[in-house]
Amino acid sequence: MSLARAALGRPLVLLLMGSTLGLALGMFATRLLGRVVYEANPRDPLVLLGVVATMALLGLTATWIPARRALEVDPSRLMREE
């Protein structure tokens, strides 16, 4: 479990920071979005929750797939091949 934590730790921190920054910038851009999107409230909590959940799921998937592949490789075998 510690290898998976080490492999996923930094990407998850970056994902959290990026999501927080993106959400903050999105909140600042609500006036522009309010003019572009007809009859929609850009601060709708359901929409914001859906966007954050979707981005988090995509980020976790994009992080987990390469980490899982890297964790399946035997380090001693790699050392012998070098």
pLDDT digits (tens, 9 = 90+) for 49-59: 777 788 788 88
Cα distance between residue 41 and residue 9, in whole Å: 35
Sequence ranges of the domains in the chain? 2-81
The token pair that represents 38 in the structure block? 């007809």
- The label of the residue with tokens 């980490």 reads 67
Q: Hey, what amino acid is at 61?
A: T
Q: What is the pTM of this model?
A: 0.52
The closest of 30, 49, 50 to 40, measured between CA atoms, is 30
Instruction: State the CB neighbour count (10 A cutoff) for residue 7.
Output: 17
pLDDT digits (tens, 9 = 90+) for 17-67: 888 887 787 777 776 766 766 666 666 777 777 777 887 888 888 888 888
The token pair that represents 51 in the structure block? 């966007």
